[in-house]
Amino acid sequence: MDRKERILRPAIRMIHIRLPEDVHKKIRVRAAEADVTIQDWVLEAIQEHLKPIESKDEN
> Which pLDDT band, with edges at 50, 70 and 90, does 59 fall under?
low
CA 44/CA 50 separation, integer angstroms? 10
Tell me the one-letter amino acid at 10.
Answer: P
Tell me the one-letter amino acid at 15.
Answer: I
Task: Output the pLDDT for position 9.
Answer: 75
Does the pTM surpass 0.85? The reply is no
CA 21/CA 8 separation, integer angstroms? 38
Cα dihedral sign, 16-20-22-23: negative
CA 12/CA 9 separation, integer angstroms? 9
Cα dihedral sign, 14-17-19-23: negative
